[in-house]
Structure 1
Amino acid sequence: MDRSRRFAFLRLGVPDVRVRTLVALRWLGIAGQLATLGVVGGLLGFPLPWGPALAAIGASAILNAGLLTLYPRSARLAGREALLHLAFDLVQLGVLVFLTGGLANPFSLLLLVPVTVAATLLSARATISVVLLAVVILIAQWQWALPLPWDGPDFELPQAYRLGILTAEILGIGFLATYAWRISHEGRSQALALAATQAALERETKMSALGSLAAAAAHELGGPLGTITLVARDLAEAIGDDPEFGDDIRLLNQETKRSRDILVDLARRAEGEDPFPSVALAVLLREVAQPYEAQRPIEIATSPEAAAIEVRRSPELLHGLANFVSNAARHAVSQVRLCADIVGDELRVRVEDDGRGFPPALLPELGEPFLGPSRSGSGGTGLGIFIATTLLERTGGLIAFSNAPEGGARVEIRWVRTHIESNDDQGR
């Protein structure tokens, strides 16, 4: 993974916002505020506190200009910095509403906007802070706001009606903030999990491509080594009997011949190999299980028909099955079973352990990323199962999670045989 992608991957787990985005949103808010004051105070002639209102808008414009000056165009704000900026926007809008009637002002509904923006950009804790600040501002509007600018007798809403508006706006802020944060959090989690899956797949693909790399290296090194061999042979003919250098020349010839034989053999083996060769399913299952047999004994039980199926030794298949076997070995008490059989036109592979099994409440959610330690019950995040599920689904597999009747977790992967069998096998 190149450096820019790796840095982007690391940044996915931390909510942040580009300075340019924040500046653009604030300019949009400033333009709307000025337009509203112009229409209400200028065209409609309602009396407004122009001085304090323009001062509040001016403070927002000064902050925006400062951001453009102090930060580069590509800068991002995260954590406390982003929280402070969005809190400022909320307070600034609250001041304008306070000056122009509080909850009696129809534009008090716009206090929902900074909270919703904060919920899409900030962490859960920071979002809660912004929501609490909004509630405090709304209560201040309800109790102490200046009268609504009105062309005629003083306009005063009944206290009960104003209390209803306060309650409605608090509930609206709470609902919208929860909804927006949940959606954005799931999006970030999904992006992070998919990046982790891609990284795992790239690693497996690179390992599988080592054979091709060895062939290329053998061809590239063949030219310089041939030149060295010719020079060494000429030196042996010219000064091979020299008492001082003769032994070194003969050793040089031997080593160049040995190096050439190694490269020829390496190129022959690499060129004859498919990067993802077809192997019998029984062989592939043994390869998957071998690294984890030191943790727990792994029993491999395959029907004769399933064992003989030829499958592509692809990175997705290897890494996906290995993740499930690793998880079973970690949670098993004494043994892991890896079973395969044919049912109708399907190949079915099961990974079972004799541990405590999956928490029943968690079964419908397995395969989703970032379940959280408290929900997973094992201290994990569910990312490993998500990666395995995603990779095996790429091979055409369908994954089902359950608990065995006798106890322990069970993962069953099903493929239609025509989807999993290699083309070479089908063509025989």
Structure 2
Amino acid sequence: MSASTFVPRLGDVTPGDDATDRKNMALLIQLRWTAVIGQIVTIGAVHLWLGAPLPLVPMGAVVLGLIALNIASLAWMRYRVAISNRDLLVALILDVVALTALLYLSGGITNPFTSLYLLQVTLGAVLLDSRSSWSLVAVVFTAFIWLTEASRPLVLPPAAGDPVNLAVAGMLIGFALNAVLLVVFVTRIHRNLRERDAHLAALRQHAAEQDHIVRMGLLASGAAHELGTPLASVSVILSDWRRMPQIMANREIAEDLAEMETALKRCQSIVTGILVSAGEARGEGSSPTTVSAFLSALAEEWQNARCKTTLHVVNVFGEDVPIVSDVTLKQAIFNVLDNAFEVSRYWIELVAERDGDNLVLSISDRGPGFPKDMLTQIGKPYQSSKGRAGGGLGLFLVMNVVRKLGGSITAENLRTRGAKVKLVLPLSTLAIGNPFD
């Protein structure tokens, strides 16, 4: 009278499946303890209350065997890496064997608790694959047929009452026990399965997001290659113009030329970042530095390209440590800063802190904040509060860059006004010589 774990097909085990298996194994152990208690109560009632002579020693040995099986299951579950369909089938067969032994010692086929075989078959249909379910049915059918030929008769004394009424009462108790155990177990197993399905849905969503990344990466990489040639041509032309005295003699034209060169360098930096993010030109633009130097250079570059007075940097990281200046990470931080700049033109704060072995970057603004429904969707593609078609990819790309580095990203609205985006980055992945370089 027990249940067991739900097991995925061999070769198709996921972390979510393993968690479901262990939850269902816990249900198996709970239900087996319930069965042991029920069997002790039933044996005591029949022997003491009805006065029927039962073979207490053999029946007690069966009950002790179930207790030992439960204790062994606890130890087995602790050290078992994965639970297979075969393990589940063996567990249910052992329960059938224990039930058959108790029925054999207490009347065989005439025992009204033979209906508990249906509990084993139902659990097998819920938890096993098709082939194993039919194997369990064959075992139960064989045990049932064997009981019709071999069993120890259950002799009730005349004082126990009408045998027909006792049989009806026994069938009623057996039916009620079957119904209660099935409802309790199937309800819990379905809850576990829903949790597993939710986990698998999250994995599918993650796979879809990764597919978006691949397709956008290919598109961005192709566009970056195409832009490389015209940008190089413009750079050559601007260099030629700068060497022309008649152009440099005009102050306004010279200033415009300087702004154009700054903008061109920014475009070339963006193209380089795209190629690095796509896995090309690996190592270009990456160089040894420290946390403080990386933040200072990042802030200066962003201020030169956007606004010199908007960004306020607060570095409370503490003792400086060497890291690699990663172009992809810099582009990701620029993306967050650019998003904040769109809604907060006059004030943005970048705070750098250390939390154990992590670099924590908090970017705050004084904009309208994130809509409440977006806070739970941060990092998913096409989740944007700006109302632009195809928008919402910025934080999605940032999320995946940070995830690749082993970090995490969170967002929250501030109490008064504005929002804060926090990037948590392990220093080990930013250190010189780490495998992500």
- Give the TM-score taking structure 1 as reference length: 0.40
- Give the TM-score taking structure 2 as reference length: 0.40
